[in-house]
Amino acid sequence: MAQAMKIAIVDDEQDMRQSISQWLALSGYDTETFPSAEEALKGLGQDYPGIVVSDIKMPGMDGMQFLKKLKGVDSSLPVIMITGHGDVPMAVEAMRIGAFDFLEKPFNPDRMTELAKKATLARRMTLDSRELRRELSDGGALMKKLIGASPVMERLKEDILDLGQADGHVLIEGETGTGKTLVAHALHAVGARANKKFVLISCSAYEDEALSKRLFGPADQDDPIPAIEEARGGTLVLEDIEALSETNQARLLTAINEQGTPAETRIVAICNLQDEGKTCESVLRNDLFYRLAALRMTVPPLRNRGEDILTLFTRLSEQFAEEYGCDAPEVSAQEAAQLLQAPWPGNVRQLYNVAERAVLQNRRGSGTIASLLMTEDDDSQPAMTTEGKPLKEFVEAFERMLIDNTMRRHKGSIVNVMEELCLPRRTLNEKMAKYGLQRSDYL
């Protein structure tokens, strides 16, 4: 859940600090006040979760000096400056230095709230973007996003760790929605290039001539640096590699050959071919295909991941339930079997949609998971795979999900879990060991 935005109010006049604080608090903001710029600087770090409202004229360090200091600490921190009557030229200078906006005394409180809303929204977007960039550069965090303990997922994680350390180009294949782009991010993050540039281009998002310019240049105002140069020393990810024209395939091959060995820039190609009878090898020229497929990996479809489906559904429904401020749906044994049997043509992307809609249904108190798995061709039957599975498999998958959910709800309290599931300690311990569940993961 997103952290609430704060507003730091800096003014040497106590009455002014209090009045601004009270007004913004009534508007729903978490405020803190400082009597001087010097005091405020002690509490405002680079990732301060909020914005600053500061007077310009203060004894000691004035507002302009304070603004410059703050911009040195965090150039994206929004600062709203308060000026006295006739200090508009100073306010304009503050805007030039980087102030978010300014208010002239005496100001309209509603205008203060309006600016605070805009500034906090901008700050939230900045902090979310930073957090995303950190996650995408943190190999450990990315590997945790690859949820699942099925044999195919364990193999995929091992491949990522192995190939991430290599220098060769990589070809990633797999059905749509399986998470190929996430795998590409992980490959970069766990390797020696983790601190270098990561550039991602969707080849299907451009017309042929525009794609050629974006990849190879010449540079222009819209794309000042061609991607092949922008990613130099790091990783260039090419999504939908099958969309490359013959001309651009030839230019890419030339660029790869000019790099030499080991490659200065690693290329990770993602193939999304869905047509039967067509493969990445059949649509790319042979010499380019074999250069890109020096290292090759396939992301498994969701239907082949067994119990991972229930684990993912549980995690996703909990996240959506927190986001929407309601309870996650309880999954029955029959619904667990339906989730496990569904063909999942849209893979993990489809599971995201089903989990979100299940939470929304649960909030309304209507609907079933089965109804979300209906096929477009038949509205009366849930979509099921034709592959039969032993009853024992379904029972064990449901049992594992039930224990996992209960442990999460009770934050690892064995006594509470035993009581809710009516299990003796020895039986619970045996089942947790059987399913690889550890109490320490829930504390």
Question: pLDDT tens for residues 275-326?
Answer: 666 788 888 999 999 999 989 999 999 999 988 999 899 889 988 998 888 8
> How far apart are alpha carbons 185 and 205 in whole angstroms?
19
The number of CA neighbours under 13 Å toward the Cβ of 369 is 26
Q: What is the CATH number of domain 6-134?
A: 3.40.50.2300
Segment 194-243, tens digit of pLDDT: 888 999 999 999 999 999 999 998 877 666 789 999 999 999 999 999 99
Please tell me the predicted confidence (pLDDT) of residue 163. 92
> How far apart are alpha carbons 171 and 161 in whole angstroms?
15
Question: Which backbone phi and psi does 293 adopt, to 5 degrees?
Answer: -95, 25
Please tell me the predicted confidence (pLDDT) of residue 306. 87
Q: Tell me which residue has tokens 């996703």.
A: 316
What residues are paired with 238 via a beta bridge? 201, 269
Find the mean pLDDT for residues 133-147.
71
Q: What is the CATH number of domain 304-367?
A: 1.10.8.60
Please tell me the predicted confidence (pLDDT) of residue 295. 94
Residue 383 confidence (pLDDT) above 70: no
Find the mean pLDDT for residues 69-97.
87
pTM value surpassing 0.85: no
What residues are paired with 50 via a beta bridge? 6
> How far apart are alpha carbons 5 and 128 in whole angstroms?
12
Name the nearest CA neighbour of 162 among 174, 151, 170, 173. 170
Average pLDDT, the chain: 86
Cβ-based neighbours of 213, under 8 Å, separated by 6 or more: 220, 223, 226
Residue 60 confidence (pLDDT) above 80: yes
Find the mean pLDDT for residues 3-7.
79
Residue 76 confidence (pLDDT) above 80: yes
Q: 101 versus 371: which is more confidently predicted?
A: 101
Domain at 139-300: CATH architecture:
3-Layer(aba) Sandwich (3.40)
> How far apart are alpha carbons 36 and 54 in whole angstroms?
9
Q: Tell me which residue has tokens 């890109």.
A: 292
Q: Tell me which residue has tokens 């700050």.
A: 123
Segment 209-222, tens digit of pLDDT: 999 999 998 877 66
